[in-house]
């Protein structure tokens, strides 16, 4: 089973997990009756990942992010803390993505670094646009809930074509982001986001891409549970969701700031 998600791909690509093992025990009326009367195996007994495991690990990571974010917001650490958090988070993300071994400590450390960066950055935005952070949080939650509802009800299906289009769009968006960064260094304030009429479109594209990447996260988690991946992979699944939601929050925050700046 292949995964197109760059974070969850390390967990679900080419692992060959099976949901059931094979046995060669003899079948007798007594053994069938004993099997039928036996209690169902729990996740702890099977060692397989469940949706509950993913929810629990994701909740832990978001708790760490929120707590460190609140501390950074209160301390108002300065722009250096933003760079420290994002660069540290990026380094830890690369380690967690490419590591064959699940490292819960490093995954939790990633959440803490992102919390420092987001808490400080959000404080800056809120000073310029009062109330923008609460708007961005509500917008992110609404987008998450909407995508989850659409996916769980079969309104959005992950197909090979859907995945190819989404990955291609993400690569194009990344290229535009690099161009925007280069332009900002040459004196064009805001880069492409500062171009009249183009900034809101680019920001909306970012929100849409981040939202649809949640679909890939949900799909790969569902496939991982069905394939019976080890229970420890729930840490990687929670990490993947955290990465996407942090991206989504940043895009929503930027979009609202552009729209409010045009008022």
pLDDT tens readout for residues 147-198: 999 998 888 888 888 889 988 988 888 887 777 767 666 655 555 555 555 6
Assess contact for 157 and 222: CB atoms under 8 A. Answer: no
pLDDT digits (tens, 9 = 90+) for 234-253: 999 999 999 999 999 999 99
Please report which confidence band the pLDDT of residue 4 belongs to, taking 50, 70 and 90 as the band edges: low
Looking up tokens 């993913």, which residue turns up? 54
Cα–Cα distances in angstroms (integers) from residue 207 to residues 140, 184, 204, in the given order: 9, 21, 5
Tens-place pLDDT, residues 111-144: 999 999 999 999 999 999 999 999 999 999 999 9
* Helix, coil or strand: residue 100: coil
204-227 mean pLDDT: 92
| DSSP symbols for 38-83 | SPPPPHHHHTB--HHHHHHHHHHHHHHHHHHHHHHHHHT--HHHHH
Q: Would you say 48 and 221 are in contact if contact means Cβ atoms under 8 Å apart?
A: no
pTM of the entire predicted model: 0.80
Q: Check residue 41 and give left, alpha or beta (phi > 0: left; psi -120 to 50: alpha).
A: beta
Structure token pair of residue 178: 């690099």
Tokens of 122: 């959000």
Q: What is the DSSP secondary structure assignment for residue 201, as one 8-state letter?
A: H
């Amino acid at each position: 089973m292949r995964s197109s998600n760059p974070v969850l791909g390390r967990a679900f690509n080419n692992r060959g997990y099976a949901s059931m093992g094979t046995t060669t025990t003899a079948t007798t009326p007594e053994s069938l009756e004993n099997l039928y009367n036996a209690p169902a195996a729990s996740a702890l007994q099977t060692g397989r990942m469940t949706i509950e495991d993913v929810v629990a690990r994701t909740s832990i990571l978001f708790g760490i992010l929120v707590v460190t974010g609140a501390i950074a917001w209160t301390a108002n650490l300065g722009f250096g803390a933003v760079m420290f958090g994002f660069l540290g988070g990026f380094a830890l993300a690369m380690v967690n993505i490419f590591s064959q071994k699940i490292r819960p400590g490093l995954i939790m450390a990633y959440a803490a670094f992102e919390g420092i960066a987001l808490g400080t950055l959000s404080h800056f935005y809120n000073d310029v646009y009062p109330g923008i952070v609460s708007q961005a949080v509500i917008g992110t939650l609404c987008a998450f809930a909407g995508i989850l509802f659409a996916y769980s009800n079969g309104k959005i299906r992950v197909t090979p074509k859907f995945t190819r289009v989404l990955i291609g769009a993400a690569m194009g968006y990344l290229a535009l982001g690099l161009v925007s960064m280069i332009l900002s260094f040459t004196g064009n304030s805001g880069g492409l986001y500062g171009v009249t009429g183009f900034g809101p479109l680019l920001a909306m594209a970012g929100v849409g891409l981040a939202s649809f990447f949640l679909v890939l996260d949900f799909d790969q988690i569902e496939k991982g549970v069905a394939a019976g991946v080890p229970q420890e992979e729930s840490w990687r699944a929670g990490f993947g969701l955290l990465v996407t939601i942090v991206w989504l929050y940043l895009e929503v925050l930027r979009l609202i700031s552009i729209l409010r700046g045009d008022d």
